[in-house]
Structure 1
Amino acid sequence: MININFLPFKNQEFSVAIFRRLHEGEREKDVFYYNFYSDHGTPTLYEIKFSHTEGFEKFELSGYHNTNLIAKCIYNKLLNELSKDDIIVRKPGDFNNKKIHFIIENHTKGKKCVWVEPYYMKSGNLWGLLIDYNFVVETEAEGNQKFKLDKDILIASGTLNQQGNSNVDYYLFKHDYLKKFLRRFLEAINNVLDVGISGDLLEVNSNQLAPKSYLFGNNAVNASSYMGLVKNPPLKGTATDINFYFIYKKDNRDVAVSLLKGLRGETNPSTFAGMAKLFRLGFSNELIKGTALDVFDDASIDAEIKKIKEIGRIVIPIIITNAKKDEDDERLYYWLKHKFTNAGIPCQVVTKDLIRNEYSLKYSLSNIGLQIFAKAGGQPWKMKSSSAEYLILGIGQSYNIEHTTDGNKIEKNITYSVLTDSSGLFRDIKVLGEGVEDENYYNQLITNISAIINGTTYKKVSIHCPFRMSKLKILEKVVKRIAPDLELSVLVINSKSDFFGFDYKNNGLVPFESTYIKLAADEFLVWFEGLQYNNPKITKRFGNPLLIKFWYSNNAQAFKEFQYKESLLQDCINLSGANWRGFKAKQLPVSVFYCQRIAEFIAKFKEYELEHIEISNLKPWFL
């Protein structure tokens, strides 16, 4: 059982009144509109007010129809009748906003808050309030945050503990603030709404998916990616010997030597035995070269890229630079990544601060080695699929806002896909479409997605994306272009949903990894990381669960079957173990995580006015 961040109303039989007027003509700015549908599905557009207004008719809404409008009505009632001294509304002009932040504690850089949002939960036909903790950073008059993300804000948000370390008590931290909110504000909210809001988080049934299993060379299986590599060879080694090319400034030679020794396994053999032992990857002196530069500039880096290409074999540059502590250092990092990626050379950038910190380096060497091995074309492991392997397309987007001389904004998109299979093996990156959202852009998406699907030998394909792809404009047209016996499913995977939950029987209130609950017939909340059954000790800060929505399928009947959905959920869990960025990397499905990484790089390349690069057909340079 999981207690989710939802306070149900005790009185579910209620109605609310709104005031509406039939709308004709063009829509106006700052007017709230809503479509009411007839029994035959015909929409009629109305202007909406939440208080008596001349020319508007009063209209009663029952609790289980037009739920989005009812939620907005409840929000307005709370907003109008609660003390303004106790609340913050972060998006007052947004008609879609239904969140109210209640101030629990003041902070030098903002407010510690618990937000509430009226919500109708489909799985139990229940009305109530979603609630969660949130630190609101203080803003300036024009709405910009006064403070950049720093240690103080991370502590206030619960990400770090008071000592500045990862907050292993993250779930307890959030729960404590929810209790403070209930003690202070529940009575006042109940007085306004008069629906008898419960003071207990809703308890819902939970289920368990199977734990992850990692596959290595010699068909070995292990429950741990790291221990599996210690005991077995990688799934697939590199095709040839790899050369390694260290690039550093002249005054950082000692730092370069420290990293070299670490990667050989000489400095911390108990935590990292070296590239040769863990990855079976040659790392002898004849495979290693280096160069010391006076400065990192276009001329010097272009010269090094030319030297690397002349070597005539696979070379991984290992570049030592400053930590991304200020804008100049951050710009340098992304400039270096851009230069080598644009030349078709995956590179590894390591900061001086990390190398000089013996403790941090000790536990980072294995992850650095893992990234290098994957960029060199090696495959450390794959995941054991819940069924026959099939193709997975992770789809992401990067946006570019351009301002015209007329003051208009044009939003240009780059949509791309990361191809894996259900075992999590990275296969390719492909651009699906570029441009503004018009017919040409949609045609690019349709053509390229169809071509990828038609180019595979698999009979099953699943698309994972963080947004709702248009069924009418894209997906239904894709289906018409692919084989009728090919099964297509589309899952929307949201890593930033409003849902959270606690297991009151577990250590630190943390649910077990692979726990899931059903929120609606097509929506599930899944814990991709959590306690381990064989070791229920909390060793890190476990993140939020993910919200997965079954969005579309060309096999409607299969999409209704529970076992079919559970199988797709299981493969999402498995994909979270295929992350080659680190042995304890963020537990997101790689179909989503890799897209996030690419989007981050594309955004930074644009921010620093670096030219557009061809991201297709490269090794996983983004790790």
Structure 2
Amino acid sequence: MQLNYFPINIEFDKFHIFTEPYSEERLAELRNSYNTTHSFFRNGDSIFISNKNADENVTIGKIAEQSTYGNVNITASLIKHLFFRTFKDRFPNHTPVDFYPFRFFSGQQKDDIIFNALPNELKNKIAYKKLIEVQLRLTEINGKKQFGFLINIKRNWIFTKSCADLRAENYDLIGVEVLYAETLPGLDNILAPNEEFVGVIISISGTKAKVNTNEGEKEYELKELFIRKTKFNIGNYLSFATSQQKSDEVVNIIDHKREDIYNPKKLYNEITNVARGLFIDNGTPIVFQNKDGFCFTVNPLPLMVSNTIELKPPTFIFDPAATRTINTYPDNGLSNFGPYDSSIFDIKSPNILCICNKTIRGNFTQFLSSLKDGLPQSKYFQKGLLKKYDLHNITFDVKEIQNNTLNEYLNIIHDYDEQKPNLAIIEIPENFKLQTDQNNPYYQIKAKLLSLEIPVQFVTTRIVNNHNEYILNSMALQIYAKLGGTPWVLPTQRSVDRELVIGIGHSWLRKNQYAGAEFNRVVGITTFLSSDGQYLLGDKVKDVAFEYYFEELLKSLKQSIQRLSSEQGWIDGDTVRLIFHIFKPIKNVEFEVISQLIKDIPQYKIKFAFVTIGNTHPTMLFDTNQQGVTSYGSNFPKGEYIPNRASNIFLDSETCIVQMLGANELKTSKHGMSKPVQIKIRTPQGNYHSNELNKMLFYDLSYITQQIFSFTYLSWRSFLPAEEPATMKYSNLISKLLGKMRNLQGWDADKLNYGLKRKKWFL
């Protein structure tokens, strides 16, 4: 396998660099005087100076010795500055978009996929071009510490006409989203202007525009404003400047070429071609160096890697004694053994409220019959919900509505305020998807049912009329989980420590996307799973202003842990391992919460780890030996150059990437590149330090990675493994739903903290 990572060769362990004591005034003075020949950067209380092009007799500051891998921040800053200046020397016609991550547009005409479709007067003024991104990383793969560059390729719009140009063409700018472009001092022709999304134009007077921003109405020169580069905005301009037909043609070219643009094999070849252009000249490695003796070269070939550990799919368990197990597909285990909690599940004869339009009652009741009793000729759903999940009986209470209006749905639901069903199955039309969140009957019906503590399964009219074994099989799984059932669990690692796996999700509530929009409120979600994957409970941290988030998160965790410790019979002195799965940490807030939590429950010995899980990172994994697999009924291979599921690389002692979607897991050849998931054990950032806290941190990356991989088999939305573990999947589903429902009239999310705590209502 290969990473999109190109190792840097540094031949020395120590180097010399000039320094001066830091002050803001002195740093500005040095840059004003020597910026064309030197680089200056701050680290701690010192200014570090790199002489790239000046005479060697020009000395600034005093010389100091540094360790290459001692203070890695200084070495990294030197590498970035030398790379930037060498690039500018070699490619003077390229103006980088950003210093870091270092980004620049390809200058080749072939990399503008709409060039030939545009009229001559718009060529190079509007483009959809290859954007190359280079990031520096320090890795410790297989115990070898080294720096390297990660290379990624994206495609972005270019639109060089200012709003002054558009005004001269009589283009209507009122109501248009705009960017403010500002050339930073001293960076003219060195970096592209910094662009900031400021708001919407509300009026124009002469050469100035009044813009509605998050800081109120502000005036800008039209020549400093550019339309926001979105498909919608550029499409609107193209239809004005040319025709609607031409605008549609240009947009369609991008849509039709998307599969080709993001083809993994092509992407790999493009990345290696870019690396050769950046790091080699006429077959000779480029030497990136300054006049002070610091230098490096870059390997033009991507780093070859192999799996760090062997990740194994889990065994699936279907009874508390762990005697009924299966190693392949959990669906087979359910068909053979029934669900894990069959002997203790208390809703054996669920009453289900069913609502449909009167015009499809026949198909709807046929659909319910198939759901209940199965499809006898099918491969995967012969038993149906009733027998597959060991239920005694299912009672469907079918109600009809005349029209698919919100009031008709709610009128029926109101009749069940007192005598609540165990679940509701609601038929809805496809066009509900086209409505805004706040006016969408889907969310309003869901909110009403959840406020009554009734989980709901929606089904569209199309599915009612065209259901099959695959749809019914997944739906039955979701229904059982929503009723509070546990279809299967995973083996637990033998350990004297108790363990809880806790997913913490949060979503910021922001007014809009304009610059300066305050992230003024935050919603936190916690989901608790046992080490065998059982869903123990979910909790919502109140929708609060950020300054109260710490207090509310602590309260939620403390109450939940106290409840679980009582239920599970924890004993004073027990060692309890808490593994937190977080999408994105909020600085050191969560560490502060745990510090306080530990003080509040001193009767237990706490070990914990904060682990972030996500795919918003620049590392990609390729396998040039993977020639793709062909799906049934297709002649086109999918997944070419994509590694198998479970492929993994430990980038350092705290960071691992895992390929969750391999060639076999992709649905079609149109999927494009599948990025691995990055797993990172987090430590406190900045100057935060606590010896007491550090002793409690759990650092076993192999254990954590295997557990996360196993938890991807617990989605219960589907029998197929997911791309993210259940902890994150559940938290994200809850956060998304609560975000969409929070502005609905009469909705109270705190209702979820009672009767639905232990049910997977969000699936």
Determine the structure 2 residue equivalent to 1:621: 761
Once the two structures are superposed, the pairs formed by residues 42-121 of structure 1 within 5 Å of their partners are: 44=45, 63-64=68-69, 65-66=72-73, 67=75, 69-70=77-78, 72-74=80-82, 76-77=84-85, 80-81=88-89, 89=97, 92=98, 97-100=101-104, 102=106, 105-108=111-114, 110-121=128-139
Alpha-carbon shift at residue 581 of structure 1 (Å): 1.0
Q: Name the amino acid aligned to 2:446.
A: K
Alpha-carbon shift at residue 391 of structure 1 (Å): 1.1
Alpha-carbon shift at residue 239 of structure 1 (Å): 1.6
- Aligned: 1:453 with 2:561: yes
Alpha-carbon shift at residue 573 of structure 1 (Å): 1.4
Determine the structure 1 residue equivalent to 2:712: 576
Answer whether contact 1:393 1:418 (CA < 8 A) is retained. Answer: yes
Residues 479, 23 of structure 1: CA spacing in aligned structure 2 closer, same or farther, 3 A cutoff? farther
Once the two structures are superposed, the pairs formed by residues 558-573 of structure 1 within 5 Å of their partners are: 564-573=700-709
Answer whether contact 1:75 1:99 (CA < 8 A) is retained. Answer: no
| CA–CA separation in structure 2 for the residues paired with 1:21 and 1:52 | 23
| CA–CA separation in structure 2 for the residues paired with 1:175 and 1:152 | 22
Answer whether contact 1:594 1:622 (CA < 8 A) is retained. Answer: yes
Determine the structure 1 residue equivalent to 2:518: 409
- Aligned: 1:215 with 2:325: no
* Alpha-carbon displacement from aligned partner over 1:231-278 (angstroms, at most 9, x marks no partner): 220112442211233323344446534633542423872342222233
Answer whether contact 1:247 1:318 (CA < 8 A) is retained. Answer: yes
Answer whether contact 2:18 2:48 (CA < 8 A) is retained. Answer: no
Structure 1: runs of 5+ lacking an equivalent:
38-43
* Alpha-carbon displacement from aligned partner over 1:559-579 (angstroms, at most 9, x marks no partner): 677xx4322222111111111
Answer whether contact 1:114 1:133 (CA < 8 A) is retained. Answer: yes
Answer whether contact 1:63 1:70 (CA < 8 A) is retained. Answer: no
Alpha-carbon shift at residue 130 of structure 1 (Å): 0.4
User: Bigger relative contact order, structure 1 or 2, given CA contacts below 8 A and separation 6+?
Assistant: 1
Alpha-carbon shift at residue 70 of structure 1 (Å): 3.8
Determine the structure 1 residue equivalent to 2:218: none
| CA–CA separation in structure 2 for the residues paired with 1:512 and 1:601 | 32
| CA–CA separation in structure 1 for the residues paired with 2:157 and 2:255 | 11
Determine the structure 1 residue equivalent to 2:619: 499
- Aligned: 1:146 with 2:166: no
Residues 80, 412 of structure 1: CA spacing in aligned structure 2 closer, same or farther, 3 A cutoff? farther
Determine the structure 1 residue equivalent to 2:352: 244
Determine the structure 1 residue equivalent to 2:732: 596
Residues 9, 152 of structure 1: CA spacing in aligned structure 2 closer, same or farther, 3 A cutoff? same
Residues 302, 97 of structure 1: CA spacing in aligned structure 2 closer, same or farther, 3 A cutoff? same
| CA–CA separation in structure 2 for the residues paired with 1:317 and 1:127 | 55
Alpha-carbon shift at residue 377 of structure 1 (Å): 1.6
TM-score by length of 1: 0.79
| CA–CA separation in structure 1 for the residues paired with 2:524 and 2:517 | 22
568, 580, 592: which one pairs with 1:473?
592
SS in 2 for 1:468: coil
- Residue identity over aligned pairs, in percent, reads 18
Determine the structure 2 residue equivalent to 1:41: none
Alpha-carbon shift at residue 511 of structure 1 (Å): 3.3
Determine the structure 2 residue equivalent to 1:269: 378
Q: Name the amino acid aligned to 1:222.
A: I
29, 36, 43: which one pairs with 1:36?
43
Answer whether contact 1:133 1:178 (CA < 8 A) is retained. Answer: yes
| CA–CA separation in structure 1 for the residues paired with 2:84 and 2:16 | 11
Determine the structure 2 residue equivalent to 1:326: 434
| CA–CA separation in structure 1 for the residues paired with 2:253 and 2:338 | 43
Determine the structure 1 residue equivalent to 2:678: 547
467, 480, 503: which one pairs with 1:373?
480
Count matched residues: 587
103, 123, 127: which one pairs with 2:147?
127
Determine the structure 2 residue equivalent to 1:344: 453
SS in 1 for 2:538: strand
Structure 2: runs of 5+ lacking an equivalent:
33-38, 115-126, 160-177, 179-225, 234-250, 290-295, 571-575, 628-639, 685-691
Q: Name the amino acid aligned to 1:479.
A: I
| CA–CA separation in structure 2 for the residues paired with 1:530 and 1:222 | 22
Residues 424, 608 of structure 1: CA spacing in aligned structure 2 closer, same or farther, 3 A cutoff? same
* Alpha-carbon displacement from aligned partner over 1:382-424 (angstroms, at most 9, x marks no partner): 1222335621110000111248xxx873521111201111212
Residues 184, 35 of structure 1: CA spacing in aligned structure 2 closer, same or farther, 3 A cutoff? closer
Alpha-carbon shift at residue 489 of structure 1 (Å): 2.3
* Alpha-carbon displacement from aligned partner over 1:265-312 (angstroms, at most 9, x marks no partner): 23872342222233234665x434232241322x32322222334444
| CA–CA separation in structure 1 for the residues paired with 2:93 and 2:360 | 54
| CA–CA separation in structure 2 for the residues paired with 1:106 and 1:316 | 52
Residues 523, 537 of structure 1: CA spacing in aligned structure 2 closer, same or farther, 3 A cutoff? closer
290, 297, 304: which one pairs with 1:196?
297
Residues 313, 72 of structure 1: CA spacing in aligned structure 2 closer, same or farther, 3 A cutoff? same
| CA–CA separation in structure 2 for the residues paired with 1:73 and 1:607 | 48
What is the CA RMSD across the aligned residues, in angstroms? 4.4
- Aligned: 1:522 with 2:654: yes
Determine the structure 1 residue equivalent to 2:201: none
Alpha-carbon shift at residue 314 of structure 1 (Å): 1.2
Alpha-carbon shift at residue 156 of structure 1 (Å): 5.1
Residues 537, 382 of structure 1: CA spacing in aligned structure 2 closer, same or farther, 3 A cutoff? closer
Answer whether contact 1:16 1:70 (CA < 8 A) is retained. Answer: no
SS in 2 for 1:547: strand
| CA–CA separation in structure 2 for the residues paired with 1:479 and 1:107 | 57
Determine the structure 2 residue equivalent to 1:441: 549
| CA–CA separation in structure 1 for the residues paired with 2:40 and 2:445 | 49
TM-score by length of 2: 0.66
* Alpha-carbon displacement from aligned partner over 1:179-219 (angstroms, at most 9, x marks no partner): 45446665479658474332221123422123221111373
Q: Name the amino acid aligned to 1:22.
A: Y
Alpha-carbon shift at residue 320 of structure 1 (Å): 2.5
Alpha-carbon shift at residue 373 of structure 1 (Å): 1.4
- Aligned: 1:300 with 2:408: yes
Q: Name the amino acid aligned to 1:595.
A: S
SS in 1 for 2:648: strand
| CA–CA separation in structure 1 for the residues paired with 2:91 and 2:531 | 52
Residues 192, 331 of structure 1: CA spacing in aligned structure 2 closer, same or farther, 3 A cutoff? farther
| CA–CA separation in structure 2 for the residues paired with 1:374 and 1:276 | 14
SS in 2 for 1:305: helix
| CA–CA separation in structure 1 for the residues paired with 2:524 and 2:11 | 43
| CA–CA separation in structure 1 for the residues paired with 2:49 and 2:463 | 57
- Aligned: 1:175 with 2:268: yes
Residues 98, 178 of structure 1: CA spacing in aligned structure 2 closer, same or farther, 3 A cutoff? closer
Higher alpha-carbon deviation: 484-493 or 419-428: 484-493
206, 228, 233: which one pairs with 2:338?
233
Determine the structure 2 residue equivalent to 1:22: 22
Answer whether contact 1:88 1:102 (CA < 8 A) is retained. Answer: no
Residues 121, 323 of structure 1: CA spacing in aligned structure 2 closer, same or farther, 3 A cutoff? farther
| CA–CA separation in structure 2 for the residues paired with 1:602 and 1:33 | 47
Answer whether contact 1:491 1:552 (CA < 8 A) is retained. Answer: no
Determine the structure 1 residue equivalent to 2:605: 485
SS in 1 for 2:298: coil
Answer whether contact 1:12 1:126 (CA < 8 A) is retained. Answer: no
| CA–CA separation in structure 2 for the residues paired with 1:152 and 1:596 | 34
SS in 2 for 1:234: coil
Alpha-carbon shift at residue 318 of structure 1 (Å): 2.9
